[in-house]
Structure 1
């Protein structure tokens, strides 16, 4: 995989309470590019962190419709990926023990 593509596929970690619970089960959540595929996400995580990936699940999150004084508007949507690492692998950056 092209080294520049790694940083275009993975946009950053997605840290929420649900993501913290998933991290306890060796599953980590990332915001990813809208055109990223599962094999690209897998290669990007393996290249960036040097860990073995077992599975990737991808979700499209639609933006919410919000009303303001000027009318209705829409927040932009995004795509996120749940990356499950192989048994025995962990990402130290995602543990909340800081």
Structure 2
């Protein structure tokens, strides 16, 4: 298990058409550290965004894509994505409100 602080867990928000549509159900999508656990992600969201309460966290491990540059073949880095469901009485996350 990684020794991660809460500010190292969430890397960036993911803004796509699908993630914007799920915001009406209080579901927010983030790119997270590949070794972060669900409990660490929950703690990070509740500490970083005041007034939020997390109901559940779904995570997805995304493998790196194979890329070629001439004869050489390599892979891009692995990533992890988390979909965070907030409770009904929770405050919204402000970074998504201006979009």
Q: CA RMSD in A?
A: 1.6
- Does the Cα contact within 8 Å between 2:9 and 2:44 map onto a contact in 1? yes
- Does the Cα contact within 8 Å between 2:34 and 2:78 map onto a contact in 1? no
Query: TM-score, with normalisation over the residues of structure 1?
Result: 0.84
> Whole-Å Cα distance in 1 between the matches of residues 64 and 18 of structure 2?
19
- In structure 2, the gaps of 5 or more residues are none
Moved over 4 A (4+): none
Query: TM-score, with normalisation over the residues of structure 2?
Result: 0.83
- In structure 1, the gaps of 5 or more residues are none
- Does the Cα contact within 8 Å between 1:23 and 1:95 map onto a contact in 2? no
Partner of 2:40: 40
Q: How many residues align?
A: 94
- CA deviations on 1:15-62 (whole Å, 9 max, x unpaired) are 222221222221001111111111111111001102111110011011
